[in-house]
Copies of this chain bind each other. A is one copy, B any other.
């Protein structure tokens, strides 16, 4: 008879018994609704290939930058956690090749994750999906490793099987604008057209100062079949790729910029900067101006083709040059900066904000803008939706604070529904479930304080858990 690790069915619900009872009822009303995952970063080839996961470290540790950075913050090196070097010449520490050693390092440091969402998600994954018998510890690291490694070889734990088991209704991946979308095509034929869909991400093409930009533009010409030798060709090629994405089921675009600036340039200026950039001779100021200009262009194209525009500014990427040189991007060293929306979005909203053919969803890692800027904007402009708490803010306290800061001005119905935004495939159900629990707790508080009726709370719960994400990511003029 094996041990059983049972998670508390009331976890993450409010402690006060009156509110908890209400929250439990509200939560259960939505607990088993299918998952709508409209913004995430799982690699489409995981599903297209549908191979078994290699080992526990490869599945759960090495690629999870939340988890890696926490171990690094306490003295481990990326390489000790199996993170590969960016290239042969990047130097640095020898990379750990033994996944069991990596797994042990993680288990021995389980206490570092106390109070973090990573801990919460992992508990859910390990107990509910992989049915491990107990939380990680120095003592049981090997036993857990063996059991998990064995589970991962089972056919019913391959990616597509997990997708069913996780009750995922639709999953949007994030894809370079240069993707040929062949994997999505294959999956659409296998699973139907609206199960795994791409998202159009053109960031690498609009930041003209990046060292690899000209190579990207060349590839854009190749993939699109449109000459990108001048600015007009560049726009035409982007339009072609957007159409290809739409044909492959895409609902949205995704834009990660340092600021939310959307000031358009006169066409002649945009053409000039584009020319300079192709010649490898572009100033930082022009780079910034062009990025802002391109957000405006992307909005214009969205107003034409109906792709929902997602914008998430305000993170300074690769804060540590050393980590970037050794291991490349997305290694836990991206750090938010203050962000501004009210003035930055004004050019875009002046032009498209009142249109019923345009929709944008705004994300932030700077919680100070919820009440000051985003809720007032989303609570006025018909085109604006306020995205779910994102990245560093996708956690119990932050999700509560998001509701407490945004709903009073924006209402529930100008928010986008939950997005999991994750590279960690197995954490998707945990993230959606946690979001449902926190929302249930917030609604329960409103009921307990007689600010909302119970029937309304139940109805709102289904909206937050399911309906809003579907409608927010539908083409606005559908």
Looking at A239-247, A285-293, A328-336, the stretch in contact with chain B turns out to be A328-336
Within the assembled complex, what's the spacing in Å between the Cα atoms of A456 and B115?
10
Residues on the B chain within 8 Å of A403, using CB: 115
Interface centre among A119, A353, A375, A411 (most CB of B within 10 A): A411
CB distance from A252 to the nearest CB of B (A): 20
Query: Whole-angstrom distance between the alpha carbons of A414 and B323 in the complex?
Result: 19
Cα distance, A137 to B329, chains bound together (Å): 52
Q: Determine whether the beta carbon of A11 is less than 8 Å from that of B408.
A: no
The listed residue (B337, B354, B408, B412) touching A396 by CB distance below 8 A is B408
A75 to chain B, nearest CB (A): 5
- Interface residues in A106-124 by Cβ distance below 8 A to B read 111-117, 119-120
| Interface assignment of A216: CB less than 8 Å from any CB of chain B | no
Chain B residue with the shortest CB-CB distance to A413: B112
Q: Tell me whether A445 and B15 are in contact in the complex, defined as CB-CB below 8 angstroms, given that A371-B398, A392-B375 are known contacts.
A: yes
How many chain copies? 3
Interface flag for A212 (CB, 8 Å): no
Q: Which residues of B contact A449 (CB under 8 A)?
A: 11-15, 396
Given A73-B382, A413-B74, A451-B115, are A18 and B19 also a contact pair (CB < 8 Å)? no
Q: Does A395 sit at the interface, judged by CB under 8 A?
A: yes
Render A76-87 as a binary contact track against B, CB cut-off 8 A, 1 for contact. Answer: 000000000000
Q: List residues of chain B with CB within 8 A of the CB of A404.
A: 397, 401
Interface string of A81-95 (1 = CB under 8 A from B): 000000000000000
CA distance A111 to B371 in the complex (A): 21
A319 at the B interface (CB under 8 A): yes
Q: Is the CB of A446 within 8 A of B115?
A: yes
CB distance from A465 to the nearest CB of B (A): 15
Convert A315-344 into 0s and 1s, putting 1 for each residue whose CB lies closer than 8 angstroms to a CB of B: 010011111000000001111111010110
Q: Is A379 an interface residue (CB 8 A)?
A: yes
Report if A456-B19 is in contact (Cβ < 8 Å); known contacts: A336-B342, A381-B320, A392-B409.
Answer: no
Would you call A366 an interface residue if the criterion is a C-beta within 8 Å of the partner chain's C-beta atoms? Answer: yes
**Residue of B whose beta carbon sits closest to that of A365:** B372
> Is the pair B354, A320 in contact by a Cβ cutoff of 8 Å?
yes
In contact, A74 and B382 (Cβ under 8 angstroms): yes
Chain B proximity mask over A423-451: 1 for CB below 8 Å, otherwise 0: 00000000000000000000001101111
A163 at interface, CB cutoff 8 A: no
A1 at the interface (CB under 8 A from B): no
**Given A75-B382, A342-B336, A379-B69, A408 and B117 contact (CB-CB distance below 8 Å):** yes
- Measured CB to CB, the nearest residue on chain B to A337 is B342
Whether the Cβ atoms of B409 and A116 lie closer than 8 Å is yes
The size class of the interface chain A forms with chain B is 35 or more
For the complex, what is the distance from the CA of A413 to the CA of B109, rounded to whole Å? 11
The answer on a CB contact under 8 Å between A380 and B335 is yes
Least CB distance from A324 to B in Å reads 11
Q: Which of B13, B368, B380, B401 contacts A333 (CB 8 A)?
A: B380
- A13 to B117: give the CA distance in the assembly, Å: 24
* B320 pairs with A116, CB closer than 8 A: no
User: A376's closest neighbor in chain B, by CB?
Assistant: B335
In contact, B450 and A8 (Cβ under 8 angstroms): yes
CB-CB nearest in chain B for A457: B114
B contact residues around A319 at 8 Å (CB): 342, 346, 349, 377, 380
Known: A11-B451, A115-B407, A332-B380. A74 touches B414 (CB 8 A): yes
CB distance from A383 to the nearest CB of B (A): 9
| The one of B18, B321, B366, B392 that contacts A16, using a Cβ cutoff of 8 Å | B18
Give, as a whole number of angstroms, the nearest-CB distance from A461 to chain B: 11
State in angstroms the CA–CA spacing of A322 and B346 once bound together.
Answer: 12
A450 contact from B11, B333, B334, B397, Cβ within 8 A: B11
Among the interface residues A338, A340, A354, A379, which one has the most CB atoms of the partner chain B within 10 A?
A379
11 residue pairs A–B, Cβ–Cβ below 8 Å: A11-B451, A15-B448, A73-B378, A73-B382, A74-B413, A319-B342, A319-B377, A319-B380, A333-B380, A368-B368, A396-B451
Spell out A's residues near B (CB within 8 Å): 7-8, 10-19, 69-70, 72-75, 111-117, 119-120, 316, 319-323, 332-338, 340, 342-343, 346, 349-350, 353-354, 356, 365-368, 371-373, 375-382, 384, 392-393, 395-398, 401, 403-405, 407-414, 445-446, 448-452, 456, 459-460
Other A-B contacts than A116-B409, A336-B372, 8 sampled, CB-CB below 8 A, are A15-B19, A115-B460, A316-B343, A332-B380, A337-B343, A367-B371, A392-B409, A401-B404
